[in-house]
Structure 1
Amino acid sequence: MSKKWLPILLILLLALALRLAFLADIPPGLTHDEANHGREAMGILDGIFLFYFPLNYGSEPLYSYTAAAFMRLLGEGIVALRLVNVVFGVLAIWTAWLWSKRAFDKRIALTAAALTAVSFWPLASSREALRAGMLPFFMMAAVWFFWEIVAADFTDFSRYKKAGVVVGFSVSIALTLHIYLAARVAWLLFPLFLVYLFLWHRSAFRRAWRPVLAGLGLGWLLAAPMFLYVRAHPYVLTRLDMLDGPLQALRSGQIVPVLQNASGALLAFVWPGYGDQFLAYNIPGRPVFEAVTAVFFLAGIIISLFRWKRPSYAFVLLWFGVGIVPSLITGATANTTRNLAAL
């Protein structure tokens, strides 16, 4: 084995160990969301196959079907249920390392992988049986394929490799839509970046816009059966009616609720006391970043703003902005799950 692989392998092993240790006991017990995913998975094993599950106020299906497969292999129980996000959490770190190495450099890629391996937010989301925990990997996969399309050497790919990259991009988009509600906003990252390329990097735009739009179109086509099912059975999705209060207020001319939610959601990243108050997902009030990593986070935002004309930096700014839109609307509560597309 080449020594160049050793650092990332050690990071991935550390990430796996931290996510596997005492998995059945920490966090203690099952939250209502975890228990419902367990019920859905066991129902699948009993032959109940749905496009969309009515539990959890409406639940996209991919997590529960994957959990059912794990239970088939390992037996029904909390370990099999939670192991899904352990696997996809570690895979997300690996995929993020691959993309960061291509978009930035090896040092940044290893630093990002190491921080993701040990930081509280990604670690906690990988130890809970919540469908949002699968989102970072599939979002990261979509980003990786997208970057292959945008890259300067895409035109040198063979016809089959180009087709494979576009199909990989579209399948990744479709799978995110089968995981969690926030993905219905997250996909906008890609057309927004096309707009950026059109304005500032016209040659990259001309190279990328057709395959990107083709991939997005195919991705939505693959997700269409689920959305048609939801349209025919609206009772399975009550979550939107529970979360759109601020938007309803905005439509009636009341901007204050949205501004309050947005400010709280932003402070939840760095300011103690403003973090997610929901005990099931977070230590109540704990911000996403503690003091030291908050400084690095803010420094990264500032550096990216100064370097916004470089595509990689503009992309991460757009990614963060689009990824946190759900919590900007709904506030800091449960932002640890709603923001996972930005992880």
Structure 2
Amino acid sequence: MVRRLLLLALIVTLGFLLRFVYLGSVPAGFTPDEANQGYAAHSLLKTGLDEWGLRLPLTSFRAFADYRAPLQTYLIVPSVALFGLSEFAVRLPSAIFGTLAIIAVYLLANKLFPKTPQGWPKELPWGEINIGHLAALFVAISPWSIQFSRTALEANFASFLFPLGLLFFLKGVRGNSRLLLLSAVVLGLDLYSYLAAKLFVPLFILAYLITSRRQITKDGLRRLLPFLIVFTLFAAPLYIDALFGPGNVRGKDLAITNFSLGNLTTISNEQYFSPLNTISPQLSRIFSNKIVFTFQRFIGNYVSYLSPTFWFTEGGREITYAVFPGYGLLHLWLLPLIIFAFYRLFVTKEKNLPLLLFWLFLAIIPAAITKEGYRPNRIGSLLTFWEIIAAYGLVEIFSKARQWKTPQGWPQGLPWGGLVSGVIILVSLVSYLNLYFFIAPAKYPSALSFGYRDLLAKIKIYSDKYTTIVFDRGSQAQIFVAFYNRLDPTEYQSSSATWCCWPKSRSTQTNTPPLFLIAAAKPRSSSLSITGWIRLSISPLRLPGGRGLPRENSSFWICSTRIVWANIPSRPLMPVAILSPATLLSFGRKKPTPHLILIF
């Protein structure tokens, strides 16, 4: 037992180091979502209100024209209190929970598969390894877990809360009623961690109870009643908010039933060009309509989350969440282990096979009903599943290896198999860490909003010399100004009441503020409205010129794109290619001056 705990401690230490080393600076950049949650936590800490002036929101926090799950924001509050408002403080809770997920997976794997690799002799050091150690190791070095744990990403919390809640649930249903109550609390908190959990967790519990109704005795039903009551108390406010409040704004926007003009045009074209349309227009509508189109999108999305290329080679498509294209969410060497594991699960008719299948197929549903596929941040509850399955596959391989003949002089149990496995794991881990810590920061900085911290520090140098600072993005720059300048939350709250003036047709991101640092004149109007214009000193603003460019009173344009327009003397509105994702350009003011480019 001591050796097993020592080995687990070594694995957790490895996972801890992979998640905490350079946490504040890698990944390069700091996303608007991270800055938003950090400043919301800062506002709660200082005033008890979020940045919109709401006192201790229970079910959701308002963000960029959407509402996000509240759990992570509240967990960031003590971190900000201890370490101040910084990138490290914002990411710290996610890194902690990502490390704790290693322990949760260890315990759950041993509960699901209480086996040890029979092919490994007890007298060797690795004879103390069990399936939990393998699953924990796989999570500790998993690309998705490292990436999600090093950013303030809500989906990462599900990788800890659901395995832990499932562990307590299984132990509670099969004996300990106190653990069943604890399971209700943990799974209830999981609902507040991310939007997808609100659908997946109830579906999983319902499916398990229906299929296990014969095993659940009358005494078991009595134990389940307190569980259901506690879980319902956690769930009720969320579902009330989702049905009658603003809490599901983001979910409705992303749902595949929210048809765009392009979707409606596609459906109309399919009806028109269908051969059945020559027979009867009504007949073509039977096979080309919104219901069929929605079903096709659901199937396409669902299959995308089962694609080996998504998991093992290409990865996700949203670099914003530090998931880099061209590298899978899982190490490629896990694939044969997973395939063999499923083979053995069906052949041996493993008693927990139905539960595992529920976990796999139900966890994909919340992601499949949203627009587009290949979004790893929408399947947080499924991520640890693969490591547990792969660990089971490796155990079964070594168990079967006992039946193989080994060369004369080699010890039984094929210890060289462990050596080969270790080399493969080490090489793949080093390759991934090279990509993550050295290549990605130079290759994908713009996708992670790199440069705002240094940029705002440089702006302060010029704040007493120029009138206007201009951002080229219209809806998220204000949160970086608030975060890095540590604006007084009361000032932010008093200003936020006047935001969201753009019509919805103008932009879906409707909460860029006319704060004293962020204001602009609306074209052809004397009133202020929402843009991304940053003003560092209070003075009358002039109407922006062509294509939204400022006229002579403007001082700086902060760019995060590859091509910008610069008002260079003698060559006005000249397109300038910039060399970095965060470049500061100066414009002439009152009299012609040379243009200034600050690159960092």
Asked if TM exceeds 0.5, the reply is yes
The superposition leaves residues 194-226 of structure 1 with CA deviations (integer Å, 9 ceiling, x where unpaired) of 22223xxx3346564443454134212123234
Partner of 1:299: 340
Normalised TM-score (structure 2): 0.51
Moved more, 332-341 or 126-135: 332-341
Cα distance per residue 1:62-115 (max 9 Å; x no partner): 100110111112222111111101111111110111121122135211110000
Q: Which residue of the partner structure matches residue 254 of structure 2?
A: 243
The whole-number CA distance in structure 2 between the counterparts of 1:150 and 1:269 is 35
Measure the CA separation in 2 of the matches of 1:279 and 1:217: 40
Q: Is the 8 A contact 1:15 1:118 kept in 2?
A: yes
Structure 2 partner of 1:23? 23
| Higher deviation after alignment, 91-100 or 331-340 | 331-340
* Distance across 2 between alignment mates of 1:302 and 1:251: 39
Shift in Å, 1:180 = 0.5
- Where does residue 291 of structure 2 map in the other structure? 252
How many angstroms does 1:229 deviate by? 4.5
Q: Deviations over 1:18-41 (max 9, x none)?
A: 100111111111112212211221
Hey, what does 2:10 align to over in structure 1? 10
Give the letter for the 2:248 counterpart: L
1:224 corresponds to which letter in structure 2?
Answer: A
Pairing 1:222–2:245 present: no
Task: Identify unmatched segments of 5+ residues in structure 1.
Answer: none
Larger gyration radius, structure 1 or structure 2: 2
Report SS of the residue matched to 1:245: coil
More strand by percentage: 2
Letter in 1 for 2:190: T
Residue in structure 1 matched with residue 304 of structure 2 by the alignment? 264
Question: In structure 2, what is the Cα distance between the partners aligned to 1:331 and 1:265?
Answer: 13
Contact preservation (8 Å) 1:277, 1:334: yes
CA-to-aligned-CA distance 1:270-314 (integer Å, 9 cap, x gap): 4634x311112211253323421122223333333444x433232
**Structure 1 residues 278-287 or 239-248, which shifts more?**
239-248
Residue correspondences, number? 328
Among 209, 222, 227, which residue is 1:194 paired with? 209
Q: 1:304, 1:314 within 8 Å by CA — same for their partners in 2?
A: no
Q: SS at the partner of 1:167?
A: helix
Asked if structure 1 preserves the Cα contact closer than 8 Å seen for 2:241 and 2:248, the reply is no
CA offset at residue 253 of structure 1? 2.5
Corresponding position of 1:45 = 45
Change (3 A) 1:299 1:270: farther
User: In structure 2, do the counterparts of structure 1 residues 207 and 318 end up closer, same or farther at CA, with 3 Å as the change threshold?
Assistant: farther
Structure 1 residue identity aligned to 2:197: A
Kindly state the Cα deviation for residue 341 of structure 1 after the two structures are TM-superposed.
0.6
Q: How does 1:1-343 map to 2 (within 5 A)?
A: 2-46=2-46, 47-48=48-49, 49-51=56-58, 52-56=60-64, 57-105=66-114, 106=116, 107-151=130-174, 154=175, 157=176, 162=177, 164-187=178-201, 188-198=203-213, 202-204=214-216, 208-212=220-224, 214-229=226-241, 231=243, 233-234=245-246, 236-246=247-257, 252-254=291-293, 255-267=295-307, 268-270=309-311, 272-273=313-314, 275-281=315-321, 282-307=323-348, 309-330=349-370, 333=373, 335-342=375-382, 343=384
Counterparts of 2:364 and 2:225, CA distance in 1? 23
Residues 105-138 of structure 1: CA deviation (Å, up to 9, x unaligned): 3521111000000010111111111122111211
- Aligned-partner Cα distance in 1 for 2:254–2:372: 12
Is the helix fraction higher in 1 or 2?
1
1:251: Cα distance to partner?
6.0
- Three-state SS of the structure 1 residue aligned to 2:343 is helix
Q: Which has the higher contact order (CA 8 A, sep 6+)?
A: 1
Task: Assess if the C-alpha contact under 8 Å between 2:155 and 2:379 holds in 1.
Answer: no
Percent identity of the aligned residues? 26
Partners of 2:335 and 2:90 in 1: how far apart?
32
Q: Counterparts of 1:182 and 1:222 in 2: how far apart (Å)?
A: 16
Equivalent-residue separation in structure 2 for 1:298 and 1:328 (angstroms): 23
**Relative to 1, partners in 2 of residues 1:213 and 1:293: Cα closer, same or farther, differing over 3 Å?**
farther
Structure 1 residues 134-174: Cα deviation after superposition (integer angstroms, max 9, x where no partner): 112111221011111233xx1xx5xxxx2x22220111121
Aligned-partner Cα distance in 1 for 2:343–2:254: 31
- For 1:260 and 1:311, the matched residues in 2 are separated by 31
For 2:256, the aligned partner's letter is: G
Report the secondary structure of 1:12's partner residue.
Answer: helix
